[in-house]
A and B are shown apart, each in its own frame.
Chain A
Amino acid sequence: DIQMTQSPSSLSASVGDRVIITCRASQGIDNKLGWFQQKPGKAPKSLIYGASNLQSGVPSKFSGSGSGTDFTLTVSSLQPEDFATYYCQQYKSYPITFGQGTQLEI
């Protein structure tokens, strides 16, 4: 199985900040990497696919990069609604696996 490791596990930031979350795969996954946002009590929301492509309707303050084993999610100009838990996911091979999550706190 491909292990996905996110860092940090939690992150404190302020409104207006820019934050970067990293995700490392235990083996190469090309660009088969997605990012999701989840708020308490809500379903996950898809943000990015193919490592760097924004899902329709997702604001450009979210951006992704990387290929192979190392990936990043950048969230610019943090607003109160951006404070949530973020997950990466590989869909290169079965079983599909997720990172453990990064909790972004005010």
Chain B
Amino acid sequence: EVQLVESGGSLVQPGGSLRLSCAVSGFTFSDHYMDWVRQAPGKGLEWVARSRNKANSYTTEYAASVKGRFTISRDDSQNSLYLQMNSLKTEDTAIYYCARVATSYNFDYWGQGTLVTVSS
């Protein structure tokens, strides 16, 4: 059974940093691209970042709203995906989901999400 479990969300002050984790099981993590998607309270879905797999040199993509502040990374030996978030702003407040990217580049599995609140 494919499982994705996010953790690391909490309350942080503006300008602060936070690192989210996504632990996966039930599939060969190293084969897949992985993404982060967020959802602000009462709002729609916003794509955040992508980590390609080893075969594609672990290259990354970012939304303009987080580029230069957030860093996506992965540890294939730990079956884990990460999102390092720096210089956090109040508008980064959201539930953050990790999602698996299928071979045809669509999203097929999602985690349950972890809540990040940026507030003083």
Q: Residues 43-84 of chain A: 1 if any B CB is under 8 Å from the residue's CB, otherwise 0?
A: 111100110000100000000000000000000000000000
For window 15-61 of A, CB contacts with B under 8 Å fall at 32, 34, 36, 38, 42-46, 49-50, 55
Q: Number of residues in B with C-beta < 8 Å to the partner?
A: 22
Return A85 CB to nearest CB of chain B, in Å. 8
Contacts A89-B45, A101-B44 given: A43-B111 contact, CB under 8 Å? Answer: yes
Q: Residues 75-100 of chain A: 1 if any B CB is under 8 Å from the residue's CB, otherwise 0?
A: 00000000000010101001111111
Residues of B close to A94: CB separation below 8 A: 50, 61
Return A34 CB to nearest CB of chain B, in Å. 5
Contacts A94-B61, A95-B64 given: A46-B108 contact, CB under 8 Å? Answer: yes
In the complex the two chains form, is B110's CB within 8 Å of A43's CB?
A: yes
**How many residues of A sit at the interface, in one of the four size bands?**
20 to 34
Within 8 Å by CB of B106, from A49, A95, A100, lies A49
In the complex the two chains form, is B45's CB within 8 Å of A87's CB?
A: yes
Residues of B close to A32: CB separation below 8 A: 105-106
Return A38 CB to nearest CB of chain B, in Å. 8
In the complex the two chains form, is B45's CB within 8 Å of A44's CB?
A: yes
Residues of A close to B110: CB separation below 8 A: 43-46
For window 70-120 of B, CB contacts with A under 8 Å fall at 97, 102, 104-113
In the complex the two chains form, is B107's CB within 8 Å of A34's CB?
A: yes
In the complex the two chains form, is A98's CB within 8 Å of B106's CB?
A: no
Return A48 CB to nearest CB of chain B, in Å. 9
Within 8 Å by CB of A50, from B37, B45, B47, B106, lies B106
CA gap between A46 and B99 in the complex, in Å: 10
CA gap between A34 and B45 in the complex, in Å: 13
Within 8 Å by CB of B109, from A46, A89, A98, lies A46
In the complex the two chains form, is B107's CB within 8 Å of A89's CB?
A: yes
In the complex the two chains form, is B107's CB within 8 Å of A46's CB?
A: yes
Nearest 8 pairs between A and B by C-beta? A49-B106, A96-B47, A98-B45, A43-B110, A34-B106, A101-B44, A95-B63, A94-B61
